[in-house]
Amino acid sequence: MRRRLFAVAAVVAATVAGVMPAVAQVAQPAVVAADPVDWTPHVLDGTVHAIAVVGDTVVVGGTFSAVEGGGFQYRRDYLLAFGAADGAIRGFAPRLDGPVYALAAGPDGTVYAGGAFRTVNGVAQRGLTRLTLANGARVAGFDPSINWGDVRALAASGRWVYAGGTFSAVNRTPRAGLARLDAGSGAVDAGFDAGLTGATAEQRVRVEDFALAPGGRRLVVAGAFARAAGQPRVQLALLDTGGPRAVAVDWYTDAYQDTCDAGYDTYLRGIDFAPDASYFVVVTTGNASGATRPCDTAARFNVAGAGRHAPVWINHTGGNTLLSVAVTGSAVYVGGHQQWLDNPQGDKSAGPGAVSRPGIGAIDPRTGKALAWNPTRSRGVGVRAFLATASGLWVGSDTDRLGNEYHGRIGMFPL
């Protein structure tokens, strides 16, 4: 799910230079405030699935069609842009015919967008596009297209853009769920193929989310697959992206070989690297509970070392889904439609030691226990997008109560 911590300063520098820098993530010095800022606009329908910051502009993608800001309502189908400091609605209003599920900041005042659309500003371009924030125009020369399905994860670093989703080809080049593209042209990197395959020939590969490590040399991928780059990797794989080919790092876990609800081909939903790239955190659904099961949990995995890795810690909701995660160093923020954290004995109920954290919460990255931060939100389906910046934590969801205030589907907790 769609929640990255790209530094605003790094994006501004990229805009000046005309190229994307290596991934840089924000290490926040403290937990954010529990009171959201008052000036953000309100998305009036649908769901916010993705957030990116480009210079002084916040870009939001999702399934919505209307927004209110400054006392006025605006038509905005699937994409919205507003001032990062004042919430003022920008004129950016490209025409897409389907939802946007992923965003990544681009150079020169542009943004990459991925989703389930088929056309952009009346031109056929399925699933992937790059847009100019000044006027919403397609960037000339960037012209990739997926064969079917959608794009639900994006990351830009250096000369590359990574895309993940449900597709099986990009620009007619076979790529099961994951592709690396030239950031300028959208051409598929011919040498980089993660080789994701299912447990059976019939299983359709799907990348649910991924996270690119600071520096851009590691990519951790979560989704419906059983092998990656020729190695057995059930639902979770760590790839070396520093060379011309995708290489499965000598790192694996069997934590997610256990099943949850039989209806899930993958129950992993969100993933994010720590700012120092030493660990990442995975959040899951699963419709199942129990202290020994990985369903409906957040789990930290350290990167160092070879071979099998067990989670450093697991925090259980007690049977409610977590969808998104953001790791800032001082906290691990998790969002979904959970009611509790610290709840390994719960079964859609508060077990011994459970703490109430409706819809949003924060976990101590060292201990794996819930922090005191508890702003609350109306739960709905859940938080779909986090974005941590030097100013605070952006949150996108499908409901309109955040921190006991009205915030239509988008809000920001300041540092």
What pLDDT band is residue 18 in, cutting at 50, 70 and 90? Answer: low
Q: Is 16 helix (H, G, I), strand (E, B) or coil?
A: helix
Does position 10 have pLDDT exceeding 50, yes or no? no
| pLDDT tens profile 170-221 | 999 999 999 999 999 999 999 999 999 998 888 899 999 999 999 999 999 9
pLDDT of 15 higher than 50: no
In this structure, are residues 163 and 113 in contact, taking their beta carbons and an 8 Å threshold? Answer: no
The model scores a pTM over 0.85? yes
Q: Taking the chain, what is the end-to-end CA distance rounded to the nearest angstrom?
A: 23
Would 276 be classed as within a structural domain? yes
pLDDT at 1 over 80: no
Spatial separation of the C-alpha atoms in residues 18 and 108, rounded to whole Å? 5
CA 238 to chain centre: 16
Q: How much is the average pLDDT of 59-78?
A: 97
- The per-residue pLDDT for 202 is 86
The mean per-residue pLDDT over the stretch 70-82 comes to: 97
- Judge contact between 397 and 384, C-beta under 8 A: yes
CA 338 remoteness from chain centre: 18
Share of the chain above pLDDT 70, in %: 94
pLDDT band at 259 (very low <50, low <70, confident <90, very high): confident
3, part of any domain: no
pLDDT score recorded for residue 291: 85
Q: Of 82, 90, 14, nearest to 48 (Cα)?
A: 82
Token pair in block for residue 85: 């400091």
**Pairing mode, strands 251-252 and 307-308:** parallel
Look up residue 338 and give its two tokens: 């959970």
In a domain, 349, yes or no: yes
d(CA 342, CA 314): 9
Average pLDDT estimate for 290-308? 95
State how far the Cα of 234 lies from the Cα of 208, in Å rounded to an integer: 13
Query: What confidence tens digit (pLDDT) does each residue in 104-145 have?
Result: 999 999 999 999 999 999 999 999 999 999 999 999 999 999
Q: How many angstroms separate the CA atoms of 53 and 55, rounded? A: 6
Count of other CB atoms within 10 angstroms of residue 258: 15
Looking at the 3D structure of the chain, how many domains does it have? 1
Percent with pLDDT over 90 in the chain? 89
One-character DSSP codes across 385-415:
EEEE-SSEEEEE-S-SEETTEE--SEEEEE-
pLDDT, tens digit, 9 for 90 and up, residues 324-377: 999 999 999 999 999 999 999 999 999 999 999 999 999 999 999 999 999 999
Max CA distance (Å), the chain? 58
Residue 333 covered by a domain: yes
Distance CA 123, CA 127 (A): 12
Residue 5: per-residue pLDDT: 43
| Cβ contacts of 41 within 8 Å, gap of 6 or more | 67, 68, 69, 70, 80, 82, 87, 89, 408, 410
What is the Cα–Cα distance from 267 to 112, expressed in whole angstroms? Answer: 27
- Retrieve residue 388's tokens: 């941590």
Domain annotation covers residue 1: no
pLDDT band for position 9 (cuts 50, 70, 90) = very low
Please, which residues bridge with residue 132 across strands? 110
Query: Does 93 reside within a domain?
Result: yes
Return the residue matching tokens 């015919």. Answer: 97
Q: Give the mean pLDDT of 65-92.
A: 97
381-404 pLDDT tens trace = 999 999 999 999 999 999 999 999
Task: Give me the mean pLDDT over the 66-93 stretch.
Answer: 97
Tokens linked to 113: 């967008």
Q: Is-contact 309 234, C-beta < 8 A? A: no
Q: Retrieve residue 61's tokens.
A: 């993608």
pLDDT, one tens digit per residue, over 40-54 is 999 999 999 999 999
Q: Is residue 26 part of a domain?
A: yes
- Check which CATH number belongs to the domain holding 252 and give it: 2.130.10.10
**Main-chain phi, psi angles of 6, to 5 degrees:** -70, 135
Question: Where residue 21 falls among pLDDT bands split at 50, 70, 90?
Answer: low
Distance of CA 193 to the CA centre of its chain: 21
For residue 294, being part of any structural domain is answered with: yes
What is the model's pLDDT at position 288? 82
Only one residue has tokens 């949990």, namely: 297
User: By residue range, what is the domain housing residue 238?
Assistant: 8-414
* Stretch among 3-7, 80-84, 200-204, 295-299 having the lowest mean pLDDT: 3-7
pLDDT given for residue 8 in this prediction? 41
Q: Indicate if the pLDDT at residue 268 is higher than 60.
A: yes
